[in-house]
Amino acid sequence: KIVLVTLLPYLTHKLQPLNVGYFRPLKHYYSVEVDNFCRYSHTGVNKKYFIKLYLVARAKAFTRKTIYST
């Protein structure tokens, strides 16, 4: 049940602001969550913990301020 999405080569530059405005904060907050998770005796992130950590990071990254500022 995998859906593949392809982007036309001439459209990718239009999506570049998403990397800076939306996904950079998500990457930052996810990294913080993983660091905190591994600091307390966990050695890695499996599927179960990935979703939990991602949801926390997403809630921190995608705020009204972040979404409406770009």
What residues have CB less than 8 Å from 34, skipping those under 6 apart? 45, 53
pLDDT given at position 9: 80
| pTM for the whole structure | 0.71
Q: What is the pLDDT of residues 20-29, one digit of tens each?
A: 777 888 999 9
Residue given tokens 């307390």 in the structure block: 40
Q: What is the pLDDT of residues 1-60, one digit of tens each?
A: 888 888 788 877 777 777 777 788 899 999 999 999 999 878 888 888 999 999 999 999
Is residue 30 helix, strand or coil? helix
